[in-house]
Amino acid sequence: MSSTSSIRVRFAPSPTGMFHVGGARSALFNWVMAAQSGGTLVLRIEDTDTSRNSPEWTEGIIRAMAWLGMDGGQYEGPYFQSANADKHAAAARTLIEAGRAYYCDCVRDDVIARTGDQHKGYDGFCRDRGLEPGPGRALRFRTPDRGHTTVIDLLRGKPVFENAVLEDFVLARADGSVTFLLANAVDDMSQGITHVVRGEEHLSNAPKQQLLWEALGGEPPVWAHVPVIVNEKRQKLSKRRDKVALEDYQAEGYLAAAMRNYLMLLGWAPSGDREIVPWEVIVDEFRIEDVNTSPAFFDEKKLRSFNGEYIRALPVEEFAAACLPFLESAPFEADPAVFDQLAPLAHTRVAVLAEIVPMVDFVFLDEPPFDEQSWNKGMKGPAAEILAAAEEAYRDAPWETAELKDRLEQVGVAHGLKLGKTQAPVRVAVTGRTVGLPLFESLEILGRERTLARIAAARAKLAAASPAS
């Protein structure tokens, strides 16, 4: 895209719920297109459906976009569609005066009775009745009887829609409120939108909106309808069935950079055999024309892997700082100095930041957490004997990582076990889990007194559960 040809794109969500990852992808595509041309991304909140809208959802959209980095010089808004009611009404009057719109008092049952087909669209019954505005009368657009409408789409070529099969669609409801089709076209025209990039579910609306642009004397925008996003069953992502709220991923500790990178790959790929690339490369290489029209699979496992890569790329100091909000809401008080010692151990082991809490909790709790499955897995076979020998070996050991490992290896040799098997009951006794941070570094940080106390407590619990007792 030429840097000398500035564009104006828009992201126009309805604030009826949490911020959908599909909406976030569309916003990012628009954002990158604006960045490439030195153009502008307009955020327009389509808030005319007052029964479903909430200021909370609007604030969530704005916060989520800022989290992803969509703010600053090329960002404009937010604007609110409800503020344009006078413009919508004026456009409706213009269409009526030009003979491009008419009033209709038909209800759906009337249309079905006339056509005998409940699936058929409106039959144009009121086109020439000359009805005046009044209760129960909607305003319809007079679609041309002949010819066709060609939509210039950067992804899909030039889809052609026969005007004869486009019904006379409603512009304003019987209560006077305008529909999405009219409000959207008027707002795009008044805000100088040059390119409309949105989900493919809106492709069927494009010829209707293009006819409206032309009827109102405007030059239609360049269209780009990006592919639908599907789950692992190849079903369209649904907020009722799938995890689709961007805020949920943010709350789990996904990094904005990882989420941004991953969302850009839903339908597009950078050059070469790579997926994790700097944002600057994405902005330089992305072309909306290169987006694949096939459904894009939202793979949460892959996103998680992406996030782990981004976390590991952070300097350990930044990783520790990013973990702090999760530790602050944990059910324990984390000593910052102690966590600074744990952070390098955890840095390469978490895929999302929320995992830091169960990974380090054993250090800050008075007693290790109890997980029955971990206990049963770790405390089997010669666990009691190993714990007794470990307790004895650690009683006078120099308290540093290498010596702690060497002492436990010797315990294993005496029992004919490799270190992995030997350390299992010790890990469960001290941390409460079968997996976690490197054991011997953890023991060094935990300290001799607490380590020995936990091993002794585990031995006592095993003894109490023994049939011989």
Token code pair at residue 410: 């010797």
Token code pair at residue 245: 């709220």
Handedness of CA 334, 335, 336, 339 (dihedral sign): negative
Residue type, 268: W
Strands 195-199 and 222-226: parallel
DSSP string, 301-347: HHHHHHHHHHHHHS-HHHHHHHHHHHHHTSSSPPPHHHHHHHHHHHT
**C-alpha closest to that of 186 among 61, 76, 52, 93:** 93
Strands 222-226 and 101-104: unpaired
- Write down the residue that tokens 């790959």 correspond to: 265
Token code pair at residue 373: 């499955």
Handedness of CA 355, 356, 358, 359 (dihedral sign): positive
**C-alpha closest to that of 434 among 339, 351, 368:** 368
How many whole angstroms separate alpha carbon 318 and alpha carbon 398?
A: 32
| Residue 174 burial (CB count, 10 A) | 17
How many whole angstroms separate alpha carbon 103 and alpha carbon 96?
A: 9
How many whole angstroms separate alpha carbon 268 and alpha carbon 108?
A: 42
- Write down the residue that tokens 């939202």 correspond to: 298
What is the radius of gyration, based on Cα positions, of the chain?
31
How many whole angstroms separate alpha carbon 416 and alpha carbon 323?
A: 40
**C-alpha closest to that of 185 among 95, 318, 278:** 95
How many whole angstroms separate alpha carbon 468 and alpha carbon 288?
A: 72
Active site positions, annotated: 239
H/E stretch holding 424: helix 419-431
H/E stretch holding 141: strand 138-141
Query: Nearest 5 degrees, angle CA 127-CA 133-CA 134?
Result: 120
